Structure 1
Amino acid sequence: MEKNHISWDILLRKVRRTLSPAEEAMFQEWLTRDERHKEYYERIRRVWSADETTCELDTDISVMIAGFDEHVRKERDSRRKKIVRYVYRFVACLFILLAVGGGILFLNKGEKQPDRLANVNKEWVPGGNKAIILLADGKKVDVEMLADTMLYKVDGIEVQKDAGVIKYSGLQKSEVTYNTIMIPKGGEYQVELSDGTMVWLNSDTELKIPTVFAGDERRVYLSGEAYFAVTKDERKPFIVETDLGNVKVYGTEFNVKRYRDDGQLKATLVEGVIGFSSDRIAELKLKPGYRLSLAEGSETPEIREVKVYNEIAWRDKRFSFENETLEEIARELERWYNVKIVFTDPALKELVFSGTLSRYGKIETMLRLFEEGVEVKFTIESDTIKVIRK
């Protein structure tokens, strides 16, 4: 073994205080050999000693950490600027991946946190069950304003506030009327449609629906992001209409994401079969595990196999990123925490990260995580979080 290298297993057992006498001697010798070794170990200890960590060691993570060690060893004699640019990005991805299975707070016990993040969790808390129902007559029902114990019922609508579900009973009327479920930034809600279809609505989303499905189809209108578990009815196809095209199904589960600031539509199939079409695109069929992406102005959708969990993690109250840019992640944080994030250096938008964290953690956890490994820091000015280079 090279003198500057030490196995991840020894570092982990050191944190857990389970080293043998021989391993302890090996660790101490390695620690005193280079000042950077102490800093490296302290970073690992802060992760695994954090009060809020719940994750356990994963084989793949262990292999990746070993890869990081190997990279540092091989590149140590190269130009420092090149090392810093590559390794910082690698470390950032590593630390995020360590959070799989639990929200890790990068907080050393007893350590005072930087003032620039001190007020983040007071002003920008995670989202929760929030919705406004725009009724057919133009009246608005703000679900947050309903009494906690109140079961709101009107025109075939039942709101179960504690459960975070809006139910439509399918009350038949002489004419079809429409409601719009509006989810603000920092909100989410579930809707049970009159046919039994369940819809999960993400932040900053609007879903226009008929109070009862009449005719030979079931059509809804979406802006934002929603997960659909459609009740099977071969006689009445279910159609999700967006401004870029329609997703058509007969009974299946899938996710549709169409935020205008993303500049594209994404439809991911979990099970069953869906078809996508528009005025300029003939119907294309998707298989489970595949995602269709269509950029604004394009007539050629991209269909490729994806890790479905990354696409639908929000429904399970998680953030899950894989090779996503900091700009893309920032948009997700803006919607969920109802914040504004601006970049003072456009180049920082292109930093790439992977990992999984709880959506119900404090935003400062995410900000510390990014600061830990790459050349960025976050400052608060009024109602804005600025991303700047260290």
Structure 2
Amino acid sequence: MDLYDENIARLIRHSLIGELSELERGELEAWLHDSEEHQVLFEKIKKEIRISSERSFFCSLNDEEAWQKFKIATRERKQRVYIRKILTYAAVIVLPLAVVAGFWFLNQEKNTPPMASGRVAEITPGKSRAVLITADQIVHELNGLQEQREIEVGNGMVIKQGGANLEYDSLVVPVQEAALAMNTLKIPRGGEFRLKLSDGTNVYLNSASELKYPVCFDEKERKVYLSGEAYFEVTKDSDRPFYVETEELQIRVYGTEFNVNTNQPGKVHTVLVNGKVGVKKRGMTGEIVMKPGELASFDRKAGTFEVKEVDVRQYVLWKDGYFTFENESLEQILNTLSFWYDVDVFFQSESAKQLVFTGYMKRYSDISEILDAITDVVGVNFTINGKTIIVSK
């Protein structure tokens, strides 16, 4: 049976999502027994794809067209000098009319050749690090390797830090005094950190982000100030509403899980996982009440909101160590990568910014592996010089 039989793509997909019929199961087993290479390919795909959380991606693929594109891409890769006998990754590509989009499964194969570029070694994935600035302007450098310790944040108030976690839940101080003491947690490009506020609310802060918050909330409300991206798991408290304020928006929280991102070009994204939030432009009356599974996109230039249903995993899996892109432009994708890998991006072609890519990959992968996958799918070229990525067509 041909390694690249169009029917195999459908059989593999149905197998991974548990929808194989008995007849299909027999066909797939025959294909697997036909060649050791078939078995290796299938096992690699199973290992890398977290099918429980990516079911919607598989179900949306056009089997025949995607497999045809995979055949072409694989055959071309076999002609390269660095090609290995065992496939190092599988790429399934969908090509709708004028838009290029792809779904790519990233493998951590050590033998994968690096992309032809400049000094790639200087670019590394982000890690747990942050800067804590206390009310009295004392600066504390934090990282994920530090053991459990206590940090004084002013007037005898002490918090705990261990690894990538900072906790304010053990304070024993007068509420009024603590509420006046504002702390700031800054996450540099190439960093991430987790914070537990005094009310038990958990905050996951992404790269190039900053959160300003009181050491202890007062008895009337809970308010924090965000720049960048953060995922909130807010502790319910009907007597004290929780507010997240950005430069443009105020988000009223009713005890819920949601993600806010001000780092998108020209946009502020609020995504609700569960519970209920109200979003409004600062200084305005009335708010948009969101439902779980919705994205509220605020256009900075127009000053307007667009609310739509989305697959929330695309917006929140960063906190679990994954990049998820679904029909996103290269401009958006490279913007995201620039924060995590602490790099600058330069597009030589404006049209390249609008090319579209869909993919799911590990956040801690070498950046060259991610860029190679995008190149295979959309056909752009990446040149790396130091910590600058140049994109050309």
If the length of structure 2 is used for normalisation, what is the TM-score? 0.76
Aligned residues: 342
The one-character-per-residue Cα deviations of 1:79-100 (angstroms, maximum 9, x if unpaired) are xxxxxx9589888604x2xx2x
Alpha carbons 1:157, 1:167 under 8 Å: kept: no
> CA 1:149–1:317 in structure 2 vs 1: closer, same or farther (change >3 Å)?
same
Which amino acid in 2 is paired with 1:54? E
Structure 1 contact 340–383 (Cα < 8 Å) conserved: yes
- The answer (yes or no) to whether the contact 2:383–2:390 under 8 Å persists in 1 is yes
User: What SS class does the counterpart of residue 62 from structure 2 fall into?
Assistant: helix
Residue 242 (structure 1) shift: 0.8
1:64 match: 62
Equivalent residue for 2:88? none
TM-superposed deviation, 1:325: 0.3
Mapped pair 1:367 → 2:365: no
Amino acid at match of 1:93: G
- Contact 1:236–1:250, Cα closer than 8 Å, also in 2: no
Q: Deviations over 1:51-83 (max 9, x none)?
A: 99633898937963413357899xxxxxxxxxx
Q: Secondary structure of the equivalent of 2:391?
A: strand
Q: Measured at CA, do residues 115 and 52 of structure 1 come closer, stay the same or move farther in structure 2, by a change above 3 Å?
A: farther
- SS, match of residue 228 in structure 2: strand
Q: Secondary structure at the match of 2:5?
A: coil
- Name the structure 2 match of 1:93: 102
The one-letter code sitting in structure 2 at the alignment partner of 1:270 is V
Structure 1 residues not aligned, in runs of 5+:
25-41, 74-84
| Aligned-residue CA RMSD (Å) | 3.7
Aligned partner of 1:80 in structure 2 is: none
Partner of 2:269: 266
Match of 1:350 among 335, 348, 354: 354
Partner of 2:214: 210
Q: 1:55 aligns with which of 46, 49, 55?
A: 49
Residues 276, 289 of structure 2: 8 Å contact kept: yes
CA distance in 2, matches of 1:88, 1:296: 31
Structure 1 residue runs of 4 or more that deviate by more than 6 Å after TM superposition: 10-13, 44-52, 56-59, 70-73, 87-91
Are 2:170 and 1:166 aligned? no
Percent identity of paired positions between Structure 1 and Structure 2: 33
Q: What residue number does 1:6 align with?
A: 5
User: Which whole-Å CA distance do the structure 2 matches of 1:62 and 1:293 have between them?
Assistant: 24
Return closer, same or farther for 1:360/1:285 CA change in 2, 3 Å cut-off: same
Pick closer, same or farther for the CA change 1:49–1:379 going to 2, 3 Å.
Answer: farther
Q: Report deviation, 1:178.
A: 0.2
1:252-274 superposed Cα distances (whole Å, 9 cap, x missing partner): 11111112x62221111111111
Shift of 1:214: 0.9
- Counterpart CA distance in 2 for 1:195 and 1:309 is 26
Deviation at 1:151, TM superposition (A): 1.2
- The residue correspondences of 1:274-353 to structure 2 (distance < 5 A) are 274-278=277-281, 279-280=283-284, 282-353=286-357
Q: Which amino acid aligns with 2:48?
A: T
Q: TM-score of the superposition, structure 1-length normalised? A: 0.77
1:150/1:89 CA distance change after superposition, 3 Å: farther
- C-alpha distance after superposition, 1:11-50 (max 9, x if no partner): 999xx996489x88xxxxxxxxxxxxxxxxx9x9997697
Rounded to whole Å, the distance in 2 between the matches of 1:191 and 1:52 is 34
Equivalent residue letter for 1:194? S
Question: Structure 1 counterpart of 2:293, which letter?
Answer: G
| Counterpart residue number, 2:201 | 197
- Listed as ranges, the gaps of 5+ residues in structure 2 are 13-27, 72-93
Q: What letter is aligned with 2:166? A: I
Q: Which residue of structure 2 aligns with residue 178 of structure 1?
A: 182
Look up the equivalent residue of 2:274 and give its one-letter code: E
CA distance in 1, matches of 2:44, 2:185: 40
Matched residue SS, 2:345: strand
CA shift at 1:250, angstroms?
2.5
Query: Helix, strand or coil: the match of 2:301?
Result: coil
Output the amino acid matched with 1:126.
P
Deviation digits for residues 267-302 of structure 1, max 9, x if unmatched? 111111111123135211111111111111334311
CA distance in 2, matches of 1:142, 1:111: 36
Larger deviation, residues 321-330 vs 262-271: 262-271
